[in-house]
Structure 1
């Protein structure tokens, strides 16, 4: 029994020793952390041009989404299917060419006939002109032959023009894509008879997109042609250039239209008809000192930022906040370009504290 009591006392002493060691270890870690300083994340004060902004929805459109119409009347032999991609100059529609080819052959034969007739009359006119020098032919016969020759020459010109018309119709019986794109809609099917001007299909240019944005008229002065505005959608963000500004307000919505170009690198991610977010300036841009929005500490008595000096010492400064965008705001206070301010871990810091910059 005595041995059992000794063993229990030894175990108790060991547990107390381990507990004391663990407590001292944790206390030492906390003490070391206090000595080193609280961790903070910092950002740099920057002198830059900044304007207040707002986000608006814009809709993507293709630069070209056009109906393809029949150039001549005839029977459809081939027409592109919806969803089919066609390169520029690729075949979209072809009509039955046989009727036009027969007219072409007929007109070529007519031209040959007119040429033969004209050659005969030319020789006859030349012969009569020689005879008229010796008074061996009448003036009436000479004038009549000259008239027939001139009429035959005009008939040849008409026949050649008709051949050109047939050639033009043949060229328009085969419709090629004016630009690379995708067929979005097919109106008629192969085998149908169509008339000139009938809409056959619709072709969408997928390579050249634009964003159409309607902005409140009160911001008219802050958006101009050539400006770059940030656009975002589908986890993609890019700057688009304003290539058209239409300063005419819609009477109902009191908005004006702006169009922005879309980089072709986004063609695989964005599509016509999609909504995108566009960041639009709502004030004139001004140059001034700016800080990240996360640097602002809002209190009842004002707005503060925490400046971190070269020795990692803390100084809390009262600032006046001006205009800004999503990430940064302009400020007035005892700060200079290049100063470091805390953007994480600043809320509980006091003047004179030492911090660890992460």
Structure 2
């Protein structure tokens, strides 16, 4: 019995030693990241501007008059030539009727004078009428013709004023504001309605001179939380002496829902040509004397490598250091490890390559 017990204790001790040896041979499970060389990285600069309408107009009446009717109000969409407002035209219409009556009167007098002229002409050929009467008749006809032309001009002027009493939309757009009310006397120099062109909106943005080479023909511009692909309309010619920027104009898509005066922003990407590697932020750890380092995985052991951080986008860092394409580094958990310890790769983190 004692022999059997001794044999069991001996076998148990043997298995414990074997398990300890296996534990010593196993490394710390870690996630690896394989680096890939890139040619450079982009730095992003945001500039701001303002939405402007390609056409906007403050329209009103050219002559004094009482506002009789309004056919559009603030926020209404309008079409070119649409009637927007009208002045009271009763006095003009009465004046036109008076001139038309005088016109008929002068036409009747002219007809009579022309008939008299024909009779006098026949009599003068038979020596029954004096030349003086014929001359007087011809002078009367000339005066009546002149009066006829004056009346026609006056009627035309009234027609023009009647037309001016009807305020029409100068282009397709929207009523931005209304500054008059029914019954109010409106006239020259007074803005009745402010009209903004619908669609065909632009954004004006000041761009620093050193970033002009990075401006493309089509640029993403954010307005009111929406991003629009805007076409560059003007390259700018003058440098603002205060802001040191060049004013550029970008045309927004026709269906862009924007308002005049809205703030707009544009992000400009400038590539820095510098070879390096993208690595996760979590792969970086503090080195000596304020430097940064990463851990290379070489033959199952961690080797610290000093690196220089050139740029970061919050998730990845662009670094320069003694690395090669395909080198595997510790992807995360740097606070749990130390140099030269044994590790086992149990997970591979996707590699970030060239920045687009």
Give unpaired runs (5+ residues) of structure 2: 1-21, 297-307, 335-344, 351-356
Q: Does 1:272 align with 2:260?
A: yes
Q: Does 1:143 align with 2:135?
A: yes
Aligned to 2:47: 56
Deviations along 1:300-355, whole A, 9 cap, x unmatched?
99999x9xxxxxxxxxxxxx9999x999xx999xxxxxx9999x95999xxxx897
1:27-38 matches, within 5 Å, as none
- Partner SS, residue 92 of structure 2: helix
Aligned to 2:88: 96
Aligned to 1:115: 107
Q: Is the 8 A contact 1:53 1:326 kept in 2?
A: no
Q: CA deviation at 1:96?
A: 0.9
Aligned to 2:78: 87
Q: Is the 8 A contact 1:65 1:205 kept in 2?
A: yes
Deviations along 1:181-215, whole A, 9 cap, x unmatched?
34333323211122334222322334332111122
Q: Does 1:155 align with 2:147?
A: yes
Q: CA deviation at 1:95?
A: 0.9
Give unpaired runs (5+ residues) of structure 1: 1-26, 307-319, 333-338
Q: Is the 8 A contact 1:72 1:173 kept in 2?
A: yes
- Partner SS, residue 231 of structure 2: strand
Aligned to 2:203: 211
1:169-208 matches, within 5 Å, as 169-208=161-200
Match of 1:236 among 226, 248, 251: 226
CA distance in 2, matches of 1:112, 1:341: 104
Structure number with bigger Rg? 2
Q: Is the 8 A contact 2:106 2:144 kept in 1?
A: yes
1:242-253 matches, within 5 Å, as 242-253=232-243
Q: Is the 8 A contact 1:77 1:95 kept in 2?
A: yes
Q: CA deviation at 1:133?
A: 2.8
Q: Is the 8 A contact 2:67 2:85 kept in 1?
A: yes
Deviations along 1:249-306, whole A, 9 cap, x unmatched?
3333333321111113331xx332221211346x7x99999998979x98999999x9
Q: CA deviation at 1:237?
A: 1.8
Deviates more, 1:271-280 or 1:66-75: 271-280
Instruction: Say if 1:292 and 1:118 are closer, same or farther in 2 by CA, change over 3 A.
Output: farther
CA distance in 2, matches of 1:122, 1:242: 70
Instruction: Say if 1:346 and 1:238 are closer, same or farther in 2 by CA, change over 3 A.
Output: farther
Q: Does 1:254 align with 2:256?
A: no
How many corresponding residue pairs?
303
Instruction: Say if 1:303 and 1:243 are closer, same or farther in 2 by CA, change over 3 A.
Output: farther
